[in-house]
Amino acid sequence: MARTDEVTGIVLAAGHGQRLRPLTDFIPKPVLPFLNRPLLTYSLEVLWRAGVRRIGLNTFHLGRQVRQAVETWAANRSDPSPSITVTEEAQLMGTGGGARQVWSRLGEPQGTCVVLNGDMVADFDLSALLQKHRETGWAASLAVARGGEGRIFMDSHSSRILGLPDRSGTFRLAGQAVEFSFCGVSLLETSAMAVLPRQPGCLLRDGLAGLLRQGCPIAALPSEGVHRDVGTPSRYLEATSEMLRRQATEIETEGVDLPPGTELLAPVLLAGEVRLMGAARLGPVCVAGGQTRFASGTLADHSIAYDARLEGDCRYQLQVGQVVLPLL
């Protein structure tokens, strides 16, 4: 299979984030702060670390905020600076139609396209996945992991996928299979990109499932690292707790003054221009950034805040500005 050395990244960032409302009525899900960074920057960083410098991205809901977050991220990268193309969808195109539209906007580049969800927490070695994908010699590979959602059936004796969800349920080839979940990362050659739908549709159901039906092999590549969906309040909190505990320092205050009597219970991350107006109890699991203010006596465990004012009982909540989302 002929390939170029260049890899193109496509980040899907057009969704509504319905299950995180009311926050996503005002802030698009890919821009929600996660450990004080816009969520989509995790996928962008995965591409950047792997040397991918040409990146396409789609937007729909509150697209201007997405564009601003991408431009800010790109402005802080150099040597060389990334080439970013943002495609604004006139209607929601889904993962398949969205990826195909971005690919077309980029000029249908030859070689490998890495398609990532822009609304997940990602921290994994894309270079290693690309190497495994190229070793298969196949047109498509999907990153998979144990647990989670998204039924991917992999041959127990090889990396070949035997089953994918399609519009009729799940299409299965014969063979002994092990079930994995899809990590939201696809590595697709030109022939695989060309089968994605031009109309709204799913990358798996309306694209790659058809490729599998035609007898074209697709690889399942178990991926180490982090690929966390944060599409519900409980998952958002679980991912925050997991990522905080991965950090070298479980209590990080980055120069924030702590009034006498303040109690910090790890893990805690305070950054930016956060201020405590008096003694407070923060943690376990507390993240604050921007110009967040804690009133004296605030209780903030399992609490995430950005540019917010907190007072009283602020446990199990995500607050951005004045908008609060319970995390129960």
**Domain made up of 7-229: CATH architecture:** Alpha-Beta Complex (3.90)
Q: How many angstroms separate the CA atoms of 182 and 193, rounded?
A: 18
Between 150 and 144, residue with greater pLDDT = 144
Q: Write the pLDDT tens digit of every residue in 14-63.
A: 988 899 999 999 999 999 999 999 999 999 999 999 999 999 999 999 99
Report whether pLDDT(176) > 90: no
The mean pLDDT value for 188-192 works out to 95
Delimiting residues of CATH 2.160.10 domain(s) in the chain: 233-326
Check residue 290 and report its DSSP letter: T
Report whether pLDDT(236) > 60: yes
- If pLDDT is split at 50, 70 and 90, which confidence band does 172 have? low
Instruction: State how far Cα 110 lies from the chain centre.
Output: 25
The CATH number, out of the four listed (2.60.40, 3.60.40, 2.160.10, 2.60.120), of the domain defined by the range 233-326:
2.160.10
3-class DSSP state of 204: helix
Which residue, among 293, 272, 267, has the nearest Cα to 282 in the 3D structure? 267
Contact 115, 130 (CB under 8 A): no
Contact 115, 129 (CB under 8 A): no
Q: Most confidently modeled of 78-87, 155-164, 166-175, 312-321?
A: 312-321
Delimiting residues of CATH 3.90.550.10 domain(s) in the chain: 7-229
Q: Write the pLDDT tens digit of every residue in 299-325.
A: 999 999 999 999 999 999 999 999 999
